[in-house]
Amino acid sequence: MAIVTRVPLGFPTPSFSSSLSKCKSSQCHKQYRHSLVALSSPSTTSLRVPETSTLFSPYIILSNSSYSPFQQKKDTKGFRRVKVVSAAMADLAPSTVLVTGAGGRTGQIVYKKLKERSEQYVARGLVRTEESKEKIGGADDVFVGDIRDAGSLVPAIQGIDALVILTSAVPKMKPGFDPSKGGRPEFYFEDGAYPEQVDWIGQKNQIDAAKAAGVKQIVLVGSMGGTDLNNPLNSLGNGNILVWKRKAEQYLADSGVPYTIIRAGGLQDKEGGIRELLIGKDDELLKTDTRTIARADVAEVCLQALQFEEAKFKAFDLSSKPEGAGTPTKDFKALFAQITTRF
């Protein structure tokens, strides 16, 4: 026998505070036509509901609703039969999302946001060390692995629906720099942690593993500046970091897996959700005064990209207006719809 199950909804439903027994007229059907039924049957199932039933509050959507995946018919005994397509059940289940680089400053925010939205997502994180795992809570959903070792990624990626890549090589400043003496600091990359190994091989390994696992979408966070070989970031530690990032982005775009490539501006440790976000292409935003963005805003765009078809097979630059200038971005579907570039 099918069991009616309450599910979290993405739209308002009528109040469930009043007793269902008080509502007996056909008007109830109109009041509750935007509620939802979820049935536990793994296949298409029929639920027979009396015409005067008011059990439409947090569970049932009448199939005369224009967007419903349900079908209905009325039988001779005055019952309404509601058929639920099993595919709709799959759409309602939380998506399992892995964020790699979850120990980094932006990765931590993405992982935290996933955990906070448990009705939408089952969060997983991938970090490099046990120390990083403990830093973000040490939960069982945080895996320790090396993106340069393809085999170590399998346990974390197996069974996920989406992957958010936030791994990156990080240059370190050589000791001995004295800003009081002028000049510029020098940077280096640790052995085994050059951009070619991390931003190219490491990201390629993630993309390959995700594709093999049947992942439905990959969100990759890169950086603006990749159109200019002479960008100063490429000179840090002689790593050509933007060159290798761009190579990984192209590999993802050619993979056949639905993707969203976010090329963020200068990252800032500021509050998110209070600025107007700007979309660009081909580093055009670097020629303006709006070249930075809060890490929290980048993290939010990562999660929003998982919600809208308009974000798939898109690559774009991302920055924001200063706080107080413009209107804070809330309509992410409209934001993604602005994007016309696939790479």
Give the other-Cβ count within 10 Å of 51's Cβ. Answer: 11
Which structure tokens are listed for 329? 């971005």
> What is the C-alpha to C-alpha distance for residues 324 and 299, in angstroms, rounded to an integer?
20
Nearest to 90 by CA among 124, 44, 125: 44
State the Cα–Cα distance between residues 242 and 212, nearest whole angstrom: 26
Residue with token string 């005055």 = 78
Catalytic residue, chosen from 63, 223, 319, 320, is 223
| Widest distance between CA atoms in the chain | 92
Q: What are the structure tokens assigned to 147, written together?
A: 């993106």
DSSP 174: P
Q: Are 240 and 185 in contact (CB under 8 A)?
A: no
18 classed as catalytic: no
Q: What is the DSSP string of 112-142?
A: HHHHHTTTTEEEEEEESSHHHHHHTT--TTE
How many Cα atoms sit within 13 Å of 222 on the Cβ side? 33
The CA–CA distances, whole Å, from 131 to 135, 183, 269 equal: 6, 35, 22
Beta strands 277-280 and 162-165, pairing class: unpaired
DSSP state of 324: T
Catalytic center residues: 223
